[in-house]
Amino acid sequence: MSIHGVDRDMSLKIKEKSAEYGLSANKTIKRILADSLGLAGEKSGPNSDFENLCGALPAAEAAELEKSLSDMDVVDTEAWS
């Protein structure tokens, strides 16, 4: 599915909402459509039980969390030998 003729103001608003939700533009558009069509709570399929948790943090908070957890990405190879 494609949406043609999206003007600059709408595109900017979608980008703002994407940043607010911490989601991609595609997922943001799908969320807006689902909400406006009254389908917001009708998700199905694998992992749909956890979908409400995905992207739940605003982008700035998610970045802060990633930064605070970055030391957990370091593997102490001596501990594993």
Tell whether 3 is covered by a domain.
no
Residue type, 28: T
**What pLDDT score was predicted for residue 59?**
81
Tell whether 61 is covered by a domain.
yes
pLDDT digits (tens, 9 = 90+) for 35-53: 999 887 655 555 556 666 6
Tell whether 54 is covered by a domain.
yes
**What pLDDT score was predicted for residue 50?**
65
Task: Look at the pTM and tell me if it is higher than 0.85.
Answer: no
Neighbours of 28 (CB within 10 A): 21
Residue for token digits 């389908």? 39
Q: How many domains does the chain have?
A: 1
Residue 35, domain extent: 8-72
Residue 31: how many CA atoms within 13 Å on its side-chain side? 17
